Amino acid sequence: MTLPQAYYALAAFLLVAGFLVFTGSPILRTFRRSKVATWVLGLIAIAWFAWWLQTGMPPADFAGLPRLPVQVVFLGFSFLAFYFMPDFLSVRALAVIMLFLARTTLDAGSRQLPASLLEASVSYGFLVLFGFWWASSPPVFNRQCDWVLATQGRQRAVGGFMLILAVACLAQSFRVS
């Protein structure tokens, strides 16, 4: 991924999130326990990690183990999570996708300062912080959503901030390309 593509990916993520928050979409309230969101986001996260295991992970990280058995074990345990841990799995899957997106964009921006400062700030400040926080404690996502969605002023402020960041990422993508 190139740095402009990283900015496009961040902008797309922030545009969707900002729009949902700004409009106070009911999706944010039902997303937490939605089976459809769980399956869609869970399968995206599983597929992304399986692809990364196959193509992006260096052989030294496998400690001499062949890739295929590691992938099979990972996929098996991932699908078991749908059965044994279905509660808030959509939030955890979203957090994993956020962390993968952060890793990919940070890789694209490494050693490209100052052009990658906005990308690194958004990736670390938003994706990594909230990704780890929501993955480790999905009820925090619920409380944060409830707090933001409680008043229209908070919806507009948080959603507007995300939309401004998305526009900034788009503008920066044109500067670095």
* CA atoms of 115 and 111, how far apart (whole Å): 9
- CA nearest neighbour of 95 among 6, 13, 163, 3: 13
pLDDT band for position 120 (50/70/90)?
very high
* CA atoms of 7 and 166, how far apart (whole Å): 9
Q: For 36-92, what is each residue's pLDDT tens digit?
A: 999 999 999 999 998 988 887 877 777 778 888 888 999 999 989 888 888 889 999
Q: For 4-37, what is each residue's pLDDT tens digit?
A: 999 999 999 999 999 999 999 999 989 888 999 9
Annotated domain spans of the chain = 3-176
Amino acid at 15: L
* pTM (2 d.p.): 0.90
Place of tokens 């990308």: 119
Q: For 124-136, what is each residue's pLDDT tens digit?
A: 999 999 999 999 9
Residue 147 in this model has a pLDDT that exceeds 90: yes
DSSP 57: S
